[in-house]
């Protein structure tokens, strides 16, 4: 009987370890997919930055042919705009990295909670099968009721935690959407500022030609 019990316990532990490894691999796959999405977003931001740099270079060449005072003023303005764009890009990357870190922590907590719950259920089932052979029916019934209360409590706690994590995830998605909207508005404002600068230069050039 002792050998059978040890073999049974060893089989249970092996099954639990395999289940835990599968769960960890599943979460790693999800995290890798999130990293790939993040890399694609970063690449898109870098491409947009390169386009903005090319546009800045074009405007720098254009204003280099104008009056020195106008060149100095516009150069300072463009430098400030470029610094603000760079700060916005760094801030967006930092926010995305922070959100990913929180999501990974939440995923690990959920995995640990699921593992502990499944382990308690399996251990309780094995213990119950042994107790049913040796103990009286009354003791087994009392233990069963106690274990069911524990499982119900764990299930309630787990569902509450999932609801909290879902709410947090929705808030995080809303924050990311807001940041993207702010970035789009900022880019539109910068383009309008560039166009106003070009219009001002054209008007000044026309004035100079008329005076001549």
Largest separation between any pair of C-alpha atoms in the chain: 114
User: Model confidence over 113-156: pLDDT tens digits?
Assistant: 888 888 888 888 877 776 666 666 676 677 778 878 888 888 88
* 34 Cβ contact list (under 8 Å, min separation 6): 100, 103
Give tens-digit pLDDT for 62-99: 766 655 666 677 678 778 878 887 888 888 888 888 87
Instruction: Name the band, by pLDDT with cuts 50, 70 and 90, for residue 2.
Output: low
Distances (CA, A) of 91 to 39, 87, 102, 164, 183: 16, 6, 17, 26, 11
pTM: 0.27
Question: Cβ–Cβ contacts within 10 Å for residue 76, how many?
Answer: 10
């Amino acid at each position: 009987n002792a050998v059978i019990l040890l073999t049974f316990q060893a089989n249970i532990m092996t099954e639990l370890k395999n289940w835990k490894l599968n769960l960890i691999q599943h979460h790693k796959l999800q995290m890798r997919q999130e990293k790939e999405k993040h890399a694609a977003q970063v690449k898109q931001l870098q491409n947009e930055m390169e386009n903005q740099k090319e546009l800045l270079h074009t405007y720098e060449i254009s204003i280099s042919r104008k009056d020195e005072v106008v060149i100095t003023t516009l150069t300072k303005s463009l430098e400030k705009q470029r610094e603000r764009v760079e700060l916005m890009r760094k801030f967006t990357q930092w926010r995305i990295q922070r959100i990913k870190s929180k999501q990974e922590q939440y995923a690990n907590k959920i995995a640990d909670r699921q593992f502990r719950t499944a382990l308690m259920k399996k251990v309780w089932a094995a213990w119950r099968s042994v107790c049913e052979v040796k103990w009286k029916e009354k003791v087994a019934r009392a233990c069963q009721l106690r274990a069911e209360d524990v499982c119900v409590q764990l299930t309630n706690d787990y569902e509450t935690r999932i609801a909290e994590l879902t709410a947090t995830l929705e808030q995080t998605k809303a924050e990311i959407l807001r940041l993207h909207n702010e970035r789009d508005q900022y880019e539109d404002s910068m383009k309008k500022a560039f166009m106003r600068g070009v219009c001002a230069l054209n008007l000044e050039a026309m004035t100079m030609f008329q005076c001549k």
